Every structure is written in C-alpha cells, then in structure tokens.
Amino acid sequence: MTGQREYEMFEAGDVPLQSGVVFPAMKLAYKTYGTLRPAKDNVILYPTSFSAQHFDTEWLIGPDGVLDPTRYFIVIPNLFGNGLSSSPSNSGDAPFPELTYHDAIAVQHRLLTERFGITKLALVYGWSMGGMQTYHWAALHPDMVVRAAVVCGSARCAPYNYVFLESVKAALTGDPAFRDGRFVEKPVVGYRAMGRVYAGWAMSHGFYRDEMWRAAGFSSLEDYLVRAWDAAFARRDANDLLAQIGIWQRGDISRGAAFGGDLARALAAIKAHMLLMPGATDRYFDVRDNEDELGKLTNAKSAVLHPIPSLHGHRAGNPVNNPRDQAFLKAEIAELLRE
C-alpha cells in the first residue's frame, strides 16, 4: 500500500481478554516512522485517541514537530474499535466483547516485543484516550517505560468524565438507527447530536466567550458548530464509537489482579519520568485529577504537572492548527527527552 494511510497489521491470534472471553483472530493495525537503532533504544510509542486513526494524529510527527522521526523510531498502534484494528465494523456480526486498556496494552506489548524485539521505550506519549493508555503502560510495564507524557489524560475515568460520556452515548443512540443494542444503519441525526454535545464539552467557556472560533475562519458560532462539529464523527462507524466509549469508561490503571483496584498502589508502581500535561481549561480530564495523581507517583524517577495554559479546552492537547499550544507541547517534550 502507498499513501498517507499506509499501515501494517499485527495478527495477534486468539487473545484472552480481561473480561474472561477470548477474542478470536485479534488484529492490531500500526504504523511506524523513522529508523530503529541497532540498540533499539530510540523508541517512542504514540497510542491513538478517541475515534482517531494513525493518520489523524501523525501531524505531530516531523523533524520540526513534537516527535522527531529523524532521531526516534515512532510507533502508532491503533486502538481497538477505531475501524483499523479489531472493531465492530470489521469483526463480523457477533457481539463485540467489552475491551479494556489492559487488553490493548497487552497486545501492543506483544507487537513491540515479538515483531521488533523492543524492551525499552524512550517515551510513551498520548493525548486523551492515548494519554490514558500512556498511564497504563507506565503502571503495567514500569521497567520498560523510561518516560511518559500524559496529555489531557488520567489514570482512570473520573465520575464526571463518565457522565460526559453518558451524554455522548445518549445523543448518539437516540437515533432510530439504534436497535436492539446496535446500529443497523448510519445514524445521521445521532452523529449531529453527538457533535453538538461534544462541542460544548471539548472547548472551554473562554473559547466561546472570546469567540476564538473566528481566528479559525468561521463566520459565526453556528457556522463553527456546523462545519467543525456536526459531521465530526460521521466518518466513523457508530458501533465502533460505542466500543471505544466503553473502553474509555472502563479505563482504570488499577483494574485487574495486579493492583486489585488500588489506585494508589498502581500509581506507586510507576518508575518512569512522568510529565502530566492537562489542559488548564479541559472540562472532562480535569486538572484536579492529575493533581491528585501527582502526589501518589512516589516511585517515579521524576513527576511534574505542567498544565497547558490555553482556552482551547481538551483540544489544547491536540493543537493541529494552534501554533501557541503546539509550541508549548514541543518545548515540554524536548525537556522531558533530556531527562
């Protein structure tokens, strides 16, 4: 394959899940950038965020970008449920099982060790759901992760975050195309409703108060909502979106036998240099969650909390067309990589 969307597939086989069921013929789509050194010591893992596929997030990779492929071997594993890795849309008609980040990290770990022989990660970097995966990596493989940058993410899905996602699910599943627990056709009305809900949560009060959408070329608030949000999720299969929402809501690094639900114990297991970068105005990955986590990172080599000083809410952590926030991320990651 050629072009922007080229990627590889890791055939994981039949995978036992945390839920106790076995996922048959599980597949993990991924893409790499840069060259792996013989010592295999220049690896950056960059997991995808909600509804994103690798080509949505690779804008941040480049010689002058946040992640430099001329120095590092960068791997983007596509999260299950995103339409490339195993998802409801490509896994047949059987009910799609409940997946967790633990399941995702287990298969990602197999990809790195079995396909590439990688045993150390110079950095795990992730935004939003990618940030939650980053936290899971640091807790589940503390001797493998040297540095971790959690951007607008948290160690577990906070109750307030969970409620936000319930509103997203309600908007999407209110469409008549949702029948008997799944979508039987594209939910046109549901996609728009979901986008409108997301527009209110993803950006900050100040973003709308100061009409910051004007700088992006929108002529009115309605123009912004229509062009930026109404069809934002329509490119994705609706059943895939529900699967990823479920992974998000179940997110908790302490989930499972290793930590027995003890978040403090899970956070204390982390040994990496930790950089927590919440958005200062993020409404669902609240700064206060990272503040609480910071004090529990007792065995990390270092742990700092540097909120992104931005009115772009959650999107401050994914500043595709936002040079100021992009420069903040670049400077912070450059400093982290000097550790």
Label the pairing between strands 22-33 and 302-305: unpaired
Catalytic residue, candidates 51, 91, 128, 204: 128
- Do 175 and 188 contact (CB within 8 A), yes or no? yes
Tell me the C-alpha to C-alpha distance, in Å, between residue 244 and each of 35, 101, 302: 31, 10, 31
- Active site includes 306? no
- Active site includes 128? yes
Catalytic residue, candidates 68, 103, 282, 325: 282
Q: Over the range 50-83, which residues count as b (16 or more CB within 10 Å of their CB) and which as e?
A: bbbbbbebbebbeeeebbbbeebbbbbbbbbbbb
DSSP 8-state assignment for residue 317: G
Catalytic residue, candidates 86, 273, 314, 325: 314
The residues with which 303 forms a beta bridge, in sequence order, are 274
| Other CB atoms within 10 A of residue 121 CB | 23
- Active site includes 273? no
Give the whole-angstrom CA distance, residue 6 versus residue 2: 5
Q: Which residues are within 8 A (CB) of 244 and not within 5 positions of it... i.e. 6 or more apart?
A: 50, 51, 79, 80, 81, 82, 129
Query: Backbone phi, then psi, for 14, in 5-degree steps?
Result: -80, 120
| Residues recognised as catalytic | 128, 282, 314
